[in-house]
């Protein structure tokens, strides 16, 4: 009888997990996130992972009747509700990130950094990134070791009033790999073998940019010439130019990944 009760509680908990958009597999296990062993990091945003852990713990406690709280009925906790609040783990205080594209403010922030770049170079980068409302694509060229990646990070941090050394949740530096031969390197793909969508860092940022449309998001493709740009970047460039959505998959059972996605103006 006791085993039967446990089995009933387990199925009830798994049903609740499904209702709250947490993937359940084989009716016996649930997926909080996907860890990429090669890159040594989760494919999803860490805030999303933490939110799913909290949500799952609350659901299991609710089903088992443990704890002094009452879980709200008919209320679904989504990734959006748990991922948009950024917390400083040391101070336990919410960090408010405000962007400012005023060039004088950006340059003053950069001047306070230990790195030194010519003002004309910073101004040219700024003008190329902000000249158009929907196309913010700039190529920094030069020999290795001249500070291209540092300049990109410095500018992105300065937009948020952050020093160079600070972590910026709206900046992602993605190293390009020589084996990038098509758009799946950026936008991911559905794996029939693993029965899941293979998320990429680029797509993660893209999805987050859609959620926080008022926040500018920066992506740096580091060493982009290691692979043929016309191969892996063609879908992105086409989406930017045409303003059309880029197809990702054609499955009906994927709720967390849209079948199509556009390039938002805040990327």
CB 152 within 8 Å of CB 137: no
CA distance 213 to 210: 5
Q: How far is CA 101 from each of CA 23, 77, 170, 261, rounded to the nearest angstrom?
A: 39, 34, 14, 26
3-state secondary structure of 238: helix
Q: What is the pLDDT along the chain (267 residues), one digit of tens a residue?
A: 444 466 777 777 777 777 776 777 766 677 777 766 555 566 777 667 777 777 777 766 666 665 444 444 444 444 444 444 454 444 445 567 899 999 999 999 888 888 888 899 999 999 999 988 888 889 998 888 888 999 999 999 999 999 999 999 999 999 999 999 999 999 999 998 988 999 999 999 999 999 999 999 999 999 999 999 999 999 999 999 998 999 999 998 888 899 999 999 999
pTM exceeds 0.75, yes or no: no
CB 104 within 8 Å of CB 126: no
DSSP 115: S
Looking at the chain, the domain(s) classified CATH 3.40.50.300 span: 103-261
Domain 103-261 classified CATH 3.40.50.300?
A: yes
Q: Within its chain, how far is the Cα of 243 from the centroid?
A: 21
CA distance 247 to 235: 9
3-state secondary structure of 155: helix
């Amino acid at each position: 009888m006791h085993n039967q009760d446990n089995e009933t509680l387990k199925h009830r908990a798994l049903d609740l997990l499904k209702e709250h958009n947490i993937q359940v597999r084989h009716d016996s296990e649930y997926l909080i996130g996907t860890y990429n062993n090669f890159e040594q990091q989760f494919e999803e945003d860490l805030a999303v992972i933490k939110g799913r852990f909290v949500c799952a713990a609350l659901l299991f406690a609710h089903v088992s009747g443990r704890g002094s709280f009452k879980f709200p009925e008919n209320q679904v906790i989504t990734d959006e509700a748990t991922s948009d609040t950024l917390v400083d783990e040391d101070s336990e205080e919410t960090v408010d990130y405000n962007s400012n594209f005023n060039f004088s403010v950006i340059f003053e922030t950069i001047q306070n950094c230990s790195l030194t770049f010519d003002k004309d170079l910073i101004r040219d980068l700024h003008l190329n990134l902000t000249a158009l409302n929907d196309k913010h694509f700039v190529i920094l060229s030069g020999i290795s070791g001249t500070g291209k990646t540092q300049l990109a990070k410095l500018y992105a941090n300065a937009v948020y009033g952050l020093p160079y050394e600070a972590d910026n949740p709206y900046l992602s530096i993605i190293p390009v790999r020589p084996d990038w031969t098509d758009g799946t390197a950026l936008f991911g793909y559905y794996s029939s073998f693993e029965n899941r969508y293979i998320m990429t860092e680029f797509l993660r940022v893209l999805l987050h940019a859609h959620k926080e449309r008022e926040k500018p998001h920066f992506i740096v493709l580091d060493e982009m010439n290691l692979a043929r740009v016309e191969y892996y970047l063609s879908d992105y460039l086409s989406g930017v130019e045409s303003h059309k959505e880029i197809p990702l998959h054609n499955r009906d059972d994927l709720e967390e990944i849209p079948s199509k996605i556009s390039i938002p103006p805040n990327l």
